[in-house]
Structure formats: structure tokens, C-alpha cells
Structure 1
Amino acid sequence: MRPTVTLVISIQTNRSLWLMADRRLTVANKVLRDDATKICCLDTLDGKAIIGYAGLGATARGMEPSEWISNSLRGLRITIEQALEVLANAARKALPAHLIGVSEQFQHVMLVPAFTKSTHLYSIEYQQKGKEISIGLRRLVKTNRGTSFTPRASAVGSGSELLSRNLHWHHKVCGLVRAFNNEKISGNVVAEELNAICQSVHLALTERGDNSVGNCSIVAWRDLRSGGGNHVSFTGTKMDQYSASIPTIANGMDVSTLAKEMLPHLWDIFPQMEAHRKEGHGEMDQQHPAMKAFIQKTDEIAKELPFEPDERLR
């Protein structure tokens, strides 16, 4: 595989999906910052996916591909594979202009663990050979004795070759995911192990003068049993008290932007909900005047948000 920057690890099972990405942005091995997102969550008509990427971390004007991915899929009520085809086509139009002058050894890879009726792993890969540029969508499978299957774990980007030499990390984290799937441990335990892998790769690369993988990471997961999930971020070995927002598209709705716009109104209604409980009335229902006003405000804000896809990578 050609060189990329960033480390991305995915774990995909029939009960949960996981993706970890380090948060560093670099230019020519110079560290710019350690707070990039590099992940986008996606719910579609037929399933769920998490999209991570290694390669271009941000444009010259500062737009991160995670925002561009979200914008490109906004307003589209389609299936997982249709969404990834949209994204691959958008990448063909948008990515080359931002990679002018980059060595043809550079590669931009999106890694996508997904679940529809079964578990899948996809990639969208940018490759350049001379003046020839190709960007293709692939479903990744392994074959054993004539049988094809989705790999349980995968890693791309800087440092992935270190992980391919020693599969101890693979066995350990997959064992923890199995325990999570059996409701024996929390998602945070798996996230901590994925972050520990990132830390070990960061230290190994730093020792040889490679700054492409940082010591900050973000981990997202989807619990396919409950339909829920979460994400956490880390600075070094410590989990951050407040995790950065992750762009999220749910059947075309830009959930993360809606949540950001609604945050001030949530702070307004929380004290009223708490007072309602303390007065012995239980949870505030939708007919309560304060809740009705909150729901109305949510509808008003949702109608004002952009609902058309925007494939511009600025």
C-alpha cells in the first residue's frame, strides 16, 4: 500500500461497528494540530456505517473531509452502497484539485465498516500513477479455502505496517469487542484499548522521526442491537471529559448540525425538566407547554438548515 498519513482502525462484527482515527494534521512531517475529526457516522435506509479516512486531513482553507462527507450525503435518503457511490463520485470531482503537487506515492483512503443485513467493510481509494488518477469503491473481503468473508479488523494509514507485523493487537481488541457484544464490558473499555494501540503506533513512529500519527485519537462505535452508539476522544492516555462532535447523517438529516443549533435551547429546558421531576410529576411529556415550545423550536430550526447535498470541498 502506498504511504498515507493518519492511522485508522476498524472493527466490524454482526453486533457492533468500531472505528478509531488519530487526530493529527501534518504538512511535510510538520505538526499543525491534534484536533481533527476524521470520522463521519452514517445511518441509511438499509443500515449503519462509520466512515474514517487517512490521507488529506484538511484543505488549504481548513475544511476537513469529515465535514465534506457529511455535506455530500446531506438530504439523501438512500442505501449504504448508494451513499458510498455518491461519495466516490464526489471524491473523483473534488479530491484531485486539493492534491495537486502531492507525490504520486501519496494515497487517500476512506475505510468504512458497515452493517446492512450482514457486516461489510468498504474502502474508497485515491491513487495516482503519473498523470493517471483513479478513485474507486471496493468491498474488502478475505478468502480462506475458497470462502470469502469480511475481515474482523482492518488498519490503514501511517503505522498500519507496524500493526501488520504483530497481530497481538488484533486478538486483544477483538476479544474486548466480543465481550462488549455479550454485554460484559462497556464501550469505553474497547475505546481505551483502541486508543492504546494508537499510542503505541505514535511512539514507534516518533522514535524514527515520523510525526504523521499523533497521541490524540477519537473512537466511534455503533451498537447494532440497540441502534445506539457513542464516541469518545483521548488526549494521550486520558479520555477527554468532553468529546468533539462527529458529523452524523441519519437518513439525510444532518443530526450533528441540528444538535449544535439546538444546544442553547436544551440548556433552557433542562432546568424545567429537572424541576418537573422534583415536583413529583415524573418525566415531562410532549403536551407540557415547555416541551411543546421546545419541539416547535426544533422543527423551526430543522426547516432552516440546508437540506441539499453539497459536494464542494473548499
Structure 2
Amino acid sequence: MSSHPGSRAEHALALAVEAGRELGLRADRPRVLHDVFSVLVHLAPEPVVVRVPALAVGTAAELRERQQRELAVTGWLADTGFPVVGPSPLVPREPVGAGGTSLTFWEYVTEIEPLRDLLQGDPGTLTDRFTEQTGWTAELHAALAHYPGELPVLSPLVPAIGLALAELRSEPQALTPADLDRADREYTVLEALVAEFPARFPQARLQSLHGDSPAYNLLRTADGHRFADFEDVTVGPVEWDLTFTGPRAIEVYERASGTRVDRTLLDLMEGARLLQGLSALTVVPKVPELGPMLAPLIDQWRARKPLELHHRKSS
């Protein structure tokens, strides 16, 4: 797939249309809705959106496994009546192979008050919105706590970050040798955390999670809000889903959920989230414009105290 954004989107659109028509869907007026790490294609006039992984990391088998987990979790949530953008009911709930990758098919919903409009406006309005949506995350966690399927523990961290760091050793992008050494040490910390989580944080709530900041992955529609983009669905502490939402949002979440957020664990998860952000540097050769966007994140990671673990006894 070409690295040029235009050709990438065109190729994704062609794949989506071909796969959709093979499944019996009309695609008379297809249009690209979004094009970053994935390309979203609306197969108009059908109420179906196809997600084409434009910049997937890992093998085709690993991608398919992640997609199948996402379809299973969102399908289960939709079946219970929880507000999510669910799998399209017009096709089977499974990834569809096409062009050397695999695609997933989703409900089409009409978004109102899109986030991109707020990004250009008053920062206070944006903060208020994320604070409210963090409160809604408590509802999502309450629902996901009952998910009956099996999921890996903190899979967006281990082994995903380790694979990315290995790739960055040969193409470090903006990272120095010292940066890479530190990142490797921090990844070792995360490996230990995942392997020994109950011993390290015995009071933590380990449960099924959205996996990728649900307060930021939510659509507002005329019928209410819907959570979306469960590509990183995993098991972990709720603090992983609450990273970088801010103190006021955390307080709102605590009131809504009736439970306390562990600030020490939240801080550790925020360090892990920054290290995960470095993984996106592996995509820069294909999407050069992403490099400048990641520069502030790299600076934030460098300025932060390196990740470390301490044993904590249960009270």
C-alpha cells in the first residue's frame, strides 16, 4: 500500500467496495470518512462503514486476532443494548480478507458535534467535554466487567511495545541511542508488571477494558453517545483507560463509578501510555507528516521520570 495519503485512501476505498459487493452490499456512492491509521469507508447508500487497516502493525494473523476480539466485544455490548458503534448486522461478525489484509464492517451512525470542530475552539469547552465523557466511561466499565469472553492482559503494552522498539533499533527516527536504551528498560518494567500484576497492585480492579482512551473514542449522535474503536480491547486496570483525562475528569469518574482511582497506578499507566506513543514512530517512514505530530510526545516522555516498579502490600 502506498505511503501517499491520497493513494492510500483510494486503495482502501477500492478494497472496501470490492469486499462489500462480494458480501451483497451496494456501494453506489462510497466515500472516505477518515484516513489516519485506518481508512474508514462509508458504503453509501448502505448504513455500513468498512474499516481498512492502512498502517497495521504486526502480522496478518495478529491483526485478524485483534479484529476478532474487537468484533466479539462490541457485538456483545451491542446485544446487551449498550451504546456502542457495533458490528454491521448486514454481514457476519468476522474479519473479511481482502488485498493481503483484513477488513471489518460496522454500523454507520451520523455524528453531531464532532470533536474536530471543538479542537479549533475554546480549550475550556474541550476540557468540559472530555470530563463529561470520562464520567460516561464509568458506565462502559460497569458493562465490560461482565464480559464473558477471554482477553489478553494489557496487550497494547506487551508484547506490542517490545516489537515496535525492536523495529526502532534499526530505524530510530527521532530517538537517540540513550532514548532507545531507556525505552528498553521501561519495557522490561512493563513486562514485569504484566507478569506480576496482582502482586504489584493487589487492590487493582482487573477487568475487560476499551484499551484506547474511551473518553476520546466516543461519537455523539442525535440518539445519544456511542463508544467506538475497540481495536485495543484488553484486560487491565481501569486506570489504563483513564490516562491523561485530567484530575477533574478522574473525580467525575470516581463519583460516577463509586470507586476510587489509584493515583499511583494511574501515574504508572500514563508513563506506559507515553512509551506506547513512541511505538507510533515505526509508522513515520510511511506517514512522514506524523513525525512532527509526535515530537511533543517524545519531549514529554523525555521530561518524565523513567518508569519503575515497587512492591506494594495489600492493606
| TM-score, normalised with respect to structure 1 | 0.26
| TM-score, normalised with respect to structure 2 | 0.26
More strand by share: 1
Which structure's relative contact order is higher, taking Cα pairs within 8 Å and 6+ residues apart? 1
